[in-house]
Amino acid sequence: MDLKTASALRRLRLVSAPEAVSFLVLLVCSVLKRTTDFDAVPVMGAIHGVLFVLYMLFWLDAWNRTKWSFGTAALYFVLSVLPTGGFFAERKLRRESENAVIAARAREEGIVNA
């Protein structure tokens, strides 16, 4: 795995958890808006919107660089629109990047010809 691909996966991984947190907080703010006088939806909506757009941009970049199958790319997309999906995406991306680093080191050392 080259440096740009690893960076693309890292960016996607780093934005996935904050995006999931912002989604959950936005849901809580929506409930509070309807049940109390507390209205933080405009602020949280903007924050979540920015994080979601960043996730989508980083997702497209990672898909382009890693040459994921359509199914893998669709999985990461679906995880982005589920309230807690970003946490699962972060975990899967961490494993994927760790495995890629291990494979790259093995190729460098001549252990495998992959």
Q: pTM of the full predicted structure?
A: 0.84
Question: Residues of the chain with pLDDT > 70: what percent?
Answer: 96
Instruction: Using alpha carbons, select from 9, 22, 25, 6 the residue that is nearest to residue 76.
Output: 9
With a cut of 90, say whether residue 60 has pLDDT above it. yes
Query: What contacts 39, CB < 8 A, 6 or more positions away?
Result: 29, 32, 33
List, for residues 17-46, the tens digit of each pLDDT value.
Answer: 999 999 999 999 999 999 999 999 999 999
Structure tokens at 14: 């780093």
Structure tokens at 104: 């790259």
Residues 47-75 have a mean pLDDT of: 94
With a cut of 70, say whether residue 113 has pLDDT above it. no
Phi, psi dihedral angles at 63 (to 5 degrees): -60, -40
From CA 103, how far away is CA 114, in angstroms rounded? Answer: 8
SS (H, E, C) 73-106: HHHHHHHHHCCCHHHHHHHHHHHHHHHHHHHHHH
Confidence class for position 112, pLDDT limits 50, 70, 90: low
With a cut of 70, say whether residue 9 has pLDDT above it. yes
